[in-house]
Amino acid sequence: MKIKLTILLCFFAITLSYGQYAWTKGELVLKNGEILIGQIKLPMISKNLIAFNGKEKVKYRKNRKSKKVKYDETQVEKVIFKNSDTEVAYFEYIQTSKKKKGLFKIISSGEVTLYARSVSMTSSTPMHMGGPQGTTWNHWHYSFSDFNEFYVLRENEKIASPLITARLSRSFKKRALEYFSDCAELVSNLKERIYIKSDIKDVVDDYNNCK
């Protein structure tokens, strides 16, 4: 009975672990230099009580009648969604730990790049579900409320650092003070609470302009 229950729980966790965004027209740039133009569906990861060590795979099809093909972090260089010349979204895999990568949207680039993603929580306690659950969310617009995980990565760093995570842990202020400690003006503004966590893009932009 215990074995059956364990198998059932594992299956339930796997089923919930990877939801999907809607199919969207875009470009899938592969590491071998190939560029695939068609419809793309990005994975949306869930953080469950039961760990599941799977890879976040991007789905691609040339059109609605075409065969779906999955690509993982070892194959994908980046994903591009373009609504207009001024509305372009870039997604790429980044290292979040020594053994794990995740697919994130690039929010701001510079000496420090800000990445964001939406993570759903499927525990017994209701948690923030992120933007993709809504009907008006799209890839190329940015709104803080569309995401619940934000990571930063310096040009010389191999592993990104979390500033905001879906699971409650260290506060944004403490993480930001530590990560941006070499910018005195920004540190002062953080201590004086001029910035709150919804200002995270401004924090990164101001750091990149810090002298």
pLDDT tens readout for residues 32-80: 999 999 999 998 777 654 344 457 899 999 999 999 999 999 999 999 9
Give me the mean pLDDT over the 84-112 stretch: 94
Q: Are residues 197 and 104 in the same domain?
A: no
Q: What are the φ/ψ torsions at residue 120 (nearest 5 degrees)?
A: -90, 150
Q: Are residues 90 and 139 in the same domain?
A: yes
Domain count, the chain: 2
Q: Are residues 161 and 190 in the same domain?
A: no
Q: What are the φ/ψ torsions at residue 187 (nearest 5 degrees)?
A: -60, -45
**What is the reported pLDDT for 1?**
53
Q: Are residues 186 and 111 in the same domain?
A: no
Q: Are residues 122 and 177 in the same domain?
A: no
Q: Are residues 41 and 121 in the same domain?
A: yes
Evaluate whether 128 touches 70 at the Cβ level (below 8 Å): no
Assess whether pLDDT exceeds 50 at residue 162.
yes
**What is the reported pLDDT for 135?**
40
Structure tokens at 162: 């979390």
Q: Are residues 96 and 163 in the same domain?
A: yes
Q: Are residues 64 and 123 in the same domain?
A: yes
Q: Are residues 33 and 17 in the same domain?
A: yes
Q: Are residues 69 and 127 in the same domain?
A: yes
Provide the whole-model pTM.
0.82
**What is the reported pLDDT for 33?**
96
Token pair 């969310």: residue: 137
Domain that holds residue 70: 2-169
**What is the reported pLDDT for 169?**
81
Q: What are the DSSP calls for 137-171, one per residue?
A: --SS---GGG-SEEEEEETT-SS-EEEE-SS--S-
Q: Are residues 110 and 145 in the same domain?
A: yes
The dihedral through the CA atoms of 39, 43, 119, 86 has a sign that is negative
**What is the reported pLDDT for 46?**
74
Q: Are residues 137 and 150 in the same domain?
A: yes
How many CB atoms are located within 10 Å of the residue 92 CB? 19
pLDDT, tens only, 104-161? 999 999 999 999 999 886 654 433 334 444 444 567 778 888 999 999 999 999 999 9
